[in-house]
Structure 1
């Protein structure tokens, strides 16, 4: 075999080995661990402290992933309801509802309460009711006060500022826990 054919092959092999070695040595410095990802990040406004809850109610995530398939709405009297299959914190539930031109459910009468109780017997669902420390009372997201003729609210613990409906019972819970959501919209 002639040297003029072997030398270029060996030179090319040495160049490839050198390039690969340099790549392996310097890639960790170029992309430090944890700073390189192909997974898209979601930029949600975090609800860090409970005193910020009133301000956070109006905050919507800057990046929201809409569920893959449109929700299945259930019609009841003048409204439509969506009972989510996934669990979220209260603020994310509200954002999910708003993505579908709705908001967390406001239960206004006994008939609506019975309809929702029948649908929530097997889970715990966030509704549009929160405790306002400044006013020392439970308010619906539209600003109206909770009426005692519909619900008997269990005593509130220190960090319980949101409400769920579970097995037909209204319960105070932390807004940072994950529960299913009930969205409500009024079709036009």
Structure 2
């Protein structure tokens, strides 16, 4: 009886060890296949980092790469707040423009239309701030008397945030 009990115990132990070994092997194989098939890139998981060259930077499909930043031009019109919400769905925000080169480059894509950008006048101190809360340092002229900024063929203008316009999203590009 004791020998039979020891034999059953040994079989259960061997079976348990085999299950554990199979789980580790399958898990390792799954991770290996996941990496070999470049699954992270296909689902939009990206490496962060700034030490990749311009020719190894990319943007999501239907976005334009300008100066290491990805831009998306909408095709339909919404209010400024709705535009920001829609940009957030793409892990972006209404566009923050960093240089005159970006303004000129983006204007090439936004001909004959107006696009909300991520610049808004704050009621508390009447200052212009970017969507991330940073103060605008007046490096370009803003025309108009509204509280929300948009880009048009002439540059940057303002209007009521409740007006409807197309919207321009921006996000960081990523290394491939």
TM-score per shorter chain, which class?
0.5 to 0.7
Query: As a proportion of its length, which structure holds more helix?
Result: 2
Residue 154 (structure 1) aligns with: 143
Residue 175 (structure 1) aligns with: 161
| 8 Å contact kept, 1:118–1:168 | no
Q: Mark the runs of 5 or more structure 2 residues left unpaired by the alignment.
A: 1-59
**Deviation readout 1:156-183 (Å, 9 max, x if unpaired):** 2xxx211111113211111111100000
Q: 1:147 to 1:117 in 2, by over 3 A?
A: farther
Query: As a proportion of its length, which structure holds more strand?
Result: 2
Q: 1:132 to 1:86 in 2, by over 3 A?
A: same
Residue 163 (structure 1) aligns with: 149
Q: Mark the runs of 5 or more structure 1 residues left unpaired by the alignment.
A: 1-69
**Deviation readout 1:70-114 (Å, 9 max, x if unpaired):** 961111121111000111111111111111111110011111111
| 8 Å contact kept, 2:144–2:159 | no
Length, aligned pairs only: 115
| TM-score, normalising length: structure 2 | 0.61
Alignment of 1:10-89 (within 5 A): 72-89=62-79
Q: Secondary structure at the match of 1:113?
A: helix
| 8 Å contact kept, 1:126–1:165 | yes
Separation (CA, whole Å) in 2 of partners of 1:139 and 1:114: 21
Specify which structure has the bigger relative contact order, considering alpha-carbon pairs within 8 angstroms and separated by 6 or more residues. 2
| TM-score, normalising length: structure 1 | 0.57
Runs of 4+ with deviation above 6 angstroms: none
1:187, distance to aligned residue in structure 2 (A): 2.9
Residue 93 (structure 1) aligns with: 83
